[in-house]
Each structure stands twice: as C-alpha cells, then as structure tokens.
C-alpha cells in the first residue's frame, strides 16, 4: 500500500467552497494541517479550493476571505430555479436505461443549449477566485516565437482567446526614463555677445539625425506598465503550481472524462472553470475546439480517479451514490477518512448552495467541523 497522502475535495457550489475552506482551516487550527498533500484532486467547488491551496497555502487567510463579507470575492447569482431545473433534468436521465457516458453526453447537450451568462463574465469570477489576497504570479516562461522578445505563460494555447497571461517585463532592456517637460529644463544664461548670429545657424533640415541600430530600440514588451490590483485584470491569474494538482471536467460533446493537470497544456483558470461549469446554470467552458462541463456530473467527488489511494482524506460538501461505492473500494486498497457536512452545515447551505449569501455561515460551520474531526484525521494523516 502506498504511503502517499492524498486529499480529495468534492463539489458543492459556493457554499461548498466556503465549507471546505472552513474544514481545512479548523483542522489546521487544531494542529492537523493537511494543506500540502502528496496528491490533490478537486472536482467543481473542490477544484477551486484545491487550486487555492496550492497557490496561496495560507489557510487562515483563505478562511477569512470566505467568512468576512468585506473580503469575499464578487460572485454571480445564478438564475432563479436554474439549479432545480438542471437537477430535475439529471433525474429524468437517471431514470432511463442509458450508458453512463451517454447520460453525461446528454447533460452536456443540455448545457450547450442552455441560456446562461456570457462565458467571459463567468470566467472573470473564476479568475478572481484564483487570485485571492494577491496570489503570486507564475515564473517567467519560455519565449513566445510568435513575437520576438515576448514571453508566453506555461501551457498557453495560442488558439484560445484567453490563453495568455501577463508576462514579467524582460530585464534585457533598460526601462526608459520619463522625460521632463521642455519648459522645466534649466537654461544657461550666456553673455549676449557670445551668441552666434541667426544667419550663421544651419537650416533645421540640414541637421544630421542619428540612425540608431534597430536592436538598440526598446522592444514594445519592455515598456513599463501600470500594476493594477489583480482582480482588475481578468487574465491576471497564476499558472499551474509546481506541486501535484488535478481537476476533473467532462467533454460536453462526448461525455468523456477529462482530468486536467499542469501537463495538459491549458490554463489553470480554464481547467478550474470547466470543472465548475454546472450544466444549465453556467456556460460550458471553451478550451481549444472543445467545450467542457462540471466534473460533478460524473461524480461529486470522483474518488475512483485517485489511483493507488494510500492514505486518503475526502472532504465532500455533497454525497452521492458513487462516493459511497468508491469509498468502500478505497478502504480495501488503502486508508480513508471521509468528512461530510453535519446538520449545522447543511442548514447553512440552505436550499441552494450556489447562492453567494451562504458563504459566511457555511465557512463557520466547516471550521467547527474541522476542529471536531481533527482527532480522526490526525490518525490518518500523521499516523497518530
């Protein structure tokens, strides 16, 4: 049995993001910090928290960003009844004798036809989630051969309209200094008789002009740019972190499962957005020539995708039938501890966990659960 420690985070809407963050913060405050596992898998809401863990690694700060209204990111309010209609559609499909992949394909078909907010508007929300508390930018990447001297982020997709991220200014060119206004320059005061006669001056058009070598001019990408707050730039998000991270989505056209990681060749923000694209509520996410929907359509946790589980901690805001089956299987091949919402947390989620107003209460409920679960989690995580 592998001794690697794996953290698996499940879906559950905006309330699920807050609750999961609270559980992790409560565990850490109780002396059990599980925020840096050997392997990390996230689905839907869990994909957001997983990415934040790798990017920020400050659970106290992430918790405050969920529980304190002044620090909460802007979230879109889903259309009325959109979640209920999507759920009802899924139930109707579940009653049919369909292959699981075909069932997911039909969910994707419904998602592709649904009227939702524009994709860029939804993407701006996901990008803001991934730049909490001024998260650091990714390191410089290899040069972009499309434009000499330009920099390209890791795994950028040139065909994707959101593929690029701002690159650090190269250090090979000096920053031009701003010139003072001509009227502010001090002028010498020579003696009147030392000035040349006007007729002795050369005509302006006869003055020789310098001919700088083309390579001596600063490249446009070396010009200094203003540095606004990260949330004001829709594409100012970090790239994939170096530590293992995987998020689950589904191809909306085929129903096939797609697990994104740093080797997938897509932006982290696109991968997380795809994992969070609830069918019928939010738009499918375009990556290359494909569109993707929420990985929670396959399973709210996708625990079965964690091969050779070893020691696994599952934090699942919502339970479903696949989770119960996969947990039994994981227990045969390794050790597993499962944390799911208690009565107080379910009350905090309310009737729609996609509503932004559920965050504060859900985060607090998760924090209390995290502290209460610290003993059992420590036995798994630290072998206590």
What span, in angstroms and rounded, lies between the C-alpha atoms of 384 and 382? 5
User: Considering the entire predicted model, what is its pTM?
Assistant: 0.74
- Residues 195-230 pLDDT 10s: 444 444 444 444 444 444 444 444 444 434 343 333
Higher per-residue pLDDT: 169 or 324: 324
Angle, alpha carbons 125-130-132 (nearest 5°): 100
Residue 105 has a pLDDT of 97
What span, in angstroms and rounded, lies between the C-alpha atoms of 302 and 41? 9
For range 95-115, the mean pLDDT: 94
Residue 130 has a pLDDT of 92
Backbone dihedral angles phi then psi of residue 307, each to the nearest 5 degrees = -70, 150
Residue 170 has a pLDDT of 31
Residue 196 has a pLDDT of 45
Residue 315 has pLDDT above 90, yes or no: yes
Residue 83 has a pLDDT of 82
Higher per-residue pLDDT: 43 or 200: 43
- Residues 276-296 pLDDT 10s: 999 999 999 999 999 999 999
Higher per-residue pLDDT: 180 or 79: 79
Q: How confident is the model at residue 87 (pLDDT cuts 50, 70, 90)?
A: confident
For range 301-317, the mean pLDDT: 91
Angle, alpha carbons 60-62-67 (nearest 5°): 90
For range 367-376, the mean pLDDT: 97
Residue 384 has a pLDDT of 58
Whole-number mean pLDDT of the chain? Answer: 79
Higher per-residue pLDDT: 238 or 186: 238
């Amino acid at each position: 049995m592998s001794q690697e420690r794996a953290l698996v985070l499940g879906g559950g809407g905006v309330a699920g993001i807050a609750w999961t963050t609270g559980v992790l913060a409560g565990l850490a405050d109780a002396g059990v910090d599980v925020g840096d596992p050997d392997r990390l898998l996230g689905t839907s809401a869990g994909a957001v928290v997983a990415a934040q863990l790798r990017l920020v690694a400050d659970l106290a700060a992430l918790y405050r960003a969920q529980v304190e209204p002044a620090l909460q990111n802007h979230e879109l309010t889903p259309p009325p009844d959109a979640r209920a209609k999507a759920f009802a559609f899924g139930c109707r499909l579940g009653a049919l004798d369909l292959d699981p992949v075909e069932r997911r394909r039909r969910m994707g078909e419904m998602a592709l036809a649904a009227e939702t907010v524009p994709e860029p508007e939804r993407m701006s929300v996901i990008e803001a989630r991934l730049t909490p508390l001024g998260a650091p930018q990714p390191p410089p990447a290899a040069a972009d051969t499309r434009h000499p001297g330009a920099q390209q982020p890791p795994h950028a997709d040139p065909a994707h309209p959101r593929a690029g991220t701002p690159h650090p200014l190269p250090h090979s060119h000096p920053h031009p200094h701003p010139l003072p206004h001509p009227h502010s320059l001090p002028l010498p005061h020579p003696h009147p008789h030392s000035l040349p006669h006007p007729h002795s001056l050369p005509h302006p058009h006869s003055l020789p002009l310098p001919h700088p070598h083309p390579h001596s001019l600063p490249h446009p990408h070396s010009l200094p740019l203003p540095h606004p707050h990260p949330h004001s730039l829709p594409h100012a998000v970090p790239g994939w972190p170096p530590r293992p991270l995987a998020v689950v989505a589904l191809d909306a056209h085929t129903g096939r499962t797609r697990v994104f990681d740093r080797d997938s060749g897509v932006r982290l923000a696109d991968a997380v957005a795809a994992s969070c694209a609830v069918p019928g509520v939010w738009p499918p996410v375009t990556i290359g020539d494909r569109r993707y929907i929420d990985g929670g359509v396959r399973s709210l946790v996708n625990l079965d995708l964690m091969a050779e589980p070893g020691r696994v901690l599952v934090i699942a805001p919502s339970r479903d039938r696949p989770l119960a089956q996969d947990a039994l299987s994981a227990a045969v091949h390794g050790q597993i501890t499962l944390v799911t919402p208690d009565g107080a947390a379910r009350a905090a989620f309310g009737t729609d966990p996609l509503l932004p107003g559920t965050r504060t209460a859900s985060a607090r409920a998760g924090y209390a659960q995290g502290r209460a679960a610290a003993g059992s989690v420590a036995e798994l995580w630290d072998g206590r």
